Amino acid sequence: MKIGIVCYPTFGGSGVLATELGKALALRGHQVHFITYSQPVRLDIFNPNIFYHEVPVPSYPLFEYPPYELALSSSMVEVIMRHQLDLLHVHYAIPHASAGYMAKKILQSKTGRDIPMITTLHGTDITLVGKDKTYEPAVTFSINESDGITAVSENLREETYKNFNISKQIEVIYNFVDVERFHNHHNNNCKCLFAPNDEKIIMHASNFRRVKRVRDVIKIFSNISKQINAKLLMVGDGPERIHCEELARSLGVDRDVRFLGKQEKVEEIFPCADLFILPSEYESFGLAALEAMASHTPVLSTNVGGIPEVNIDGNTGYLYNTGDTDTASQKAIELLSDEQKLSTMKENAYRHALEFDIEKIIPHYENFYRRFLK
Ligand code: GMT
């Protein structure tokens, strides 16, 4: 198949997932065309089946806000026609689904052809931004006008039906991880770099936005470190980082906390961790938690959104109520002080990640695409 992928090319989960999907499809012989405003961060392989098309967004003094969506639609039309694409797969409804709709219409009027468009809903396009009344009519319309719709968890499918008037069936295709890639770095020696005295390593990774409740990580770590020799590695960057640094200083744990910033090769970092903390207020899925699990790391997370579909309480880690950092700390301390339990949970986390392995999930996308090809 010749597939056009539109996504945010950043470190966010939807961009990561879309890029990994495109890479996997290319390795399976499909021709994949990324259409984005800059090179996706995880687009790091050379493969003759992968094409990258940058969307030019010219600035003009009249525009306070350059019309990116129009530039994207025009680029889609151009790429579809030049490379004879079979299908468009847009990730994140805003504005990709509506730009895709426009591209479909332009193509129809130019050539009479109707290209199928698949929209994958990722989370904040539904739960935070999408349902805001500024965007809701356009989001509802463009989801309904998609030929196929997928959501990354059961929870997100339900949230979408609850918040929007969707007349079509939404298929759940879970996010995936290349387990082999993360597993291969298991037992690497990065522990020596960050925990030279055999301290336990606690980890968090996100874009440090408010919805991630990153300050809770610092609070939980501060409680853990009162009883256990531990270090905290914070991966990623964003608006909450500065507040986390302040909090770490005020709680007196700053010397044991390292902010590593945005990292591309997370598969080299995640396997260092003994425990991964995801304290989010909402996650449609929690891709970072899955990547941690593939690295043999149990997850301590809130029990919100789609997280319980990924992290199984008492088996692959623990779930707790949002903001209840005392309970979370207690669970972490219990786990980290029991070597037997910790090693069982590490193994369980890894085994459960295999359920979401790339090899299992990609065929679901291929089969889904085939349904819409004439
Ligand atoms: O969570 C973010 O800040 C990024 C966001 C995105 O759209 O890139 O992530 C969403 O999509 C990911 C991939 O499907 C999911 O794993 C995340 O749980 C989801 N984030 C939220 O629902 C808050």
- Residue in 285, 299, 301, 310 to alter for ligand 1 test, most ligand atoms within 8 A of Cβ: 285
Ligand 1 centre and the CA of 333: distance in Å?
28
Tokens of 108: 């129809």
Q: Do 297 and 185 lie in a common domain? A: yes
Q: What is the whole-number distance in angstroms between the Cα of residue 130 and the centre of ligand 1?
A: 13
**pLDDT of the chain along its 374 residues, tens only?**
999 999 999 878 999 999 999 999 999 999 999 999 999 988 888 899 999 999 999 888 888 889 999 999 999 999 999 999 999 999 999 999 999 999 999 999 999 999 999 999 999 888 877 678 889 999 999 999 999 999 999 999 999 999 999 999 999 999 999 999 998 777 666 777 888 899 999 999 999 999 999 999 999 999 999 999 999 999 999 999 999 999 999 999 999 999 999 998 899 999 999 999 999 999 999 999 999 999 999 999 999 999 999 999 999 999 999 999 999 999 999 999 999 999 999 999 999 999 999 999 999 999 999 999 97
| Residue to probe by mutation, ligand 1, list 42, 284, 291, 365, most atoms within 8 Å of CB | 284
Q: What's the structural domain count of the chain?
A: 2
Span from the CA of 58 to the centroid of ligand 1 (angstroms):
29
Which amino acid residue places its CA nearest to atom 12 of ligand 1?
Answer: 13
CA of 15 to the centre of ligand 1 (A): 9
Q: Are residues 270 and 221 located together in one domain of the fold?
A: yes
- Based on the domain organization, do 289 and 363 belong to the same domain? no
205 and 152 assigned to the same domain: no
The answer on 118 and 151 residing in a single domain is yes
Assessment of whether the complete model's pTM goes beyond 0.90: yes
Which of 283, 290, 310 is the best mutation target for the ligand 1 pocket, counting ligand atoms within 8 Å of the beta carbon and taking the most? 283
The residue segments making up the domain with residue 33 are: 2-176+358-372
Whole-number percent of the chain with pLDDT over 90: 87
Co-location of 217 and 95 in the same domain: no
Give 278: exposed, middle or buried? Use CB within 10 Å, 0-12, 13-18, 19+.
buried
CA of 205 to the centre of ligand 1 (A): 12
One domain, residues 267 and 123: no
Amino acid of residue 46: F
**Considering just the CA atoms, what is the radius of gyration of the chain in Å?**
21
Q: Whose CA is nearest to atom 21 of ligand 1?
A: 283
- Taken in order 21, 283, 129, 240, the sign of the CA dihedral is negative
- Torsion angles phi and psi, residue 118, rounded to 5: -105, 130
Please give all residues whose beta carbon lies within 6 A of any atom in ligand 1, as ranges: 12-15, 17, 92, 122-124, 152, 175, 207, 209, 211, 282-287
Pick the atom of ligand 1 nearest to 152's CA: 14
CB 309 within 8 A of CB 297: no
For ligand 1, the distance from its centroid to the CA atom of residue 166, given in whole angstroms, is 21
The residue behind tokens 């819409």 is 372
Rounded CA gap, 184 and 158, in Å?
Answer: 36
267 and 368 part of one domain: no
| Alpha-carbon span 291 to 273, nearest angstrom | 12
Shortest-distance atom of ligand 1 to CA 10:
8
Verify that 143 and 183 share a domain, yes or no.
no
Look up the ipTM and state it: 0.97
CATH number at residue 332: 3.40.50.2000
Question: Do both 294 and 351 map to the same domain?
Answer: yes
- If asked whether residues 201 and 339 sit together in one domain, one would say yes
169 and 228 inside one domain: no
